[in-house]
């Protein structure tokens, strides 16, 4: 990570020492996101959160920097994901439900389920499943 010449040495040292914390938080947070969410983008947002944490950290408050930074990193990642996600909550919930059903079926069948099997598990027709998938992909 390249830092501006104006970054004071203490801030720079905090950032350099705690860069591994960004990866750690990314791995913790990433399990809650779909596979298509780019982990490198999460790491970039997290690194920006680390820089912000280092600039705002007040040692005299008695909070260890790693705890303070982890919260700022996590918050920066969540903010970035929210900013990039413009799909309505109902569509996100549908996508999670569909992914869960497909994974469960794939596990029990030993292969990816057909559209008919997925629709049946969802309790909809194949045509309704296609409409739902179209809605998800358009969002």
Examine residue 3 and state whether it is found in any structural domain, yes or no. Answer: no
Number of separate domains in the chain: 2
Mean pLDDT estimate for the chain:
88
Q: 6-10, 16-20, 84-88, 104-108: which has the minimum mean pLDDT? A: 84-88
DSSP 3-state of 6: coil
Q: At what angle do helices 65-84 and 9-30 cross, to 10 degrees?
A: 60
**Which residue, of 42, 69, 84, is where some domain finishes?**
84
Q: How confident is the model at residue 86 (pLDDT cuts 50, 70, 90)?
A: low
Residue 106: closest CA among 95, 97, 114: 114
Is the domain of 71 the same as that of 114?
A: no
Is the domain of 32 the same as that of 67?
A: yes
- How far CA 3 is from CA of 40, 44, 48, 59, in Å, comes to 19, 14, 11, 21
The CATH number assigned to the domain holding 77 equals: 1.10.1740.10
Asked if pLDDT for residue 2 goes beyond 60, the answer is: no
**Alpha-carbon span 101 to 11, nearest angstrom:** 47
Q: How confident is the model at residue 5 (pLDDT cuts 50, 70, 90)?
A: low
Examine residue 34 and state whether it is found in any structural domain, yes or no. Answer: yes
The CATH number assigned to the domain holding 105 equals: 1.10.10
- The stretch 18-31 carries a mean pLDDT of 95
Is the domain of 24 the same as that of 80?
A: yes
Is the domain of 13 the same as that of 44?
A: yes
Domain of 93, in residue numbers: 89-138
Q: How confident is the model at residue 36 (pLDDT cuts 50, 70, 90)?
A: confident
Asked if pLDDT for residue 93 goes beyond 60, the answer is: yes
- The stretch 67-84 carries a mean pLDDT of 92
Whether the model pTM is above 0.75: no
Q: Tell me, what's the pLDDT at 1?
A: 53
Examine residue 4 and state whether it is found in any structural domain, yes or no. Answer: no
Q: Tell me, what's the pLDDT at 70?
A: 97
């Amino acid at each position: 990570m390249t830092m501006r010449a104006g970054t004071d040495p203490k801030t720079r040292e905090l950032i350099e020492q705690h860069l591994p914390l960004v990866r750690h938080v990314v791995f913790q947070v990433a399990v809650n996101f779909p596979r298509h969410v780019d982990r490198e983008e999460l790491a970039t947002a997290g690194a920006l959160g680390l820089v912000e944490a280092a600039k705002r950290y007040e040692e005299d408050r008695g909070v260890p920097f790693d705890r303070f930074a982890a919260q700022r990193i996590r918050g920066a990642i969540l903010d970035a994901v929210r900013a990039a996600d413009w799909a309505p909550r109902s569509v996100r919930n549908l996508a999670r439900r569909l992914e869960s059903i497909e994974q469960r079926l794939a596990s029990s069948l030993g292969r990816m389920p057909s559209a008919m099997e997925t629709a049946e598990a969802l309790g909809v027709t194949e045509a309704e499943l296609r409409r739902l998938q179209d809605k998800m992909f358009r969002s």
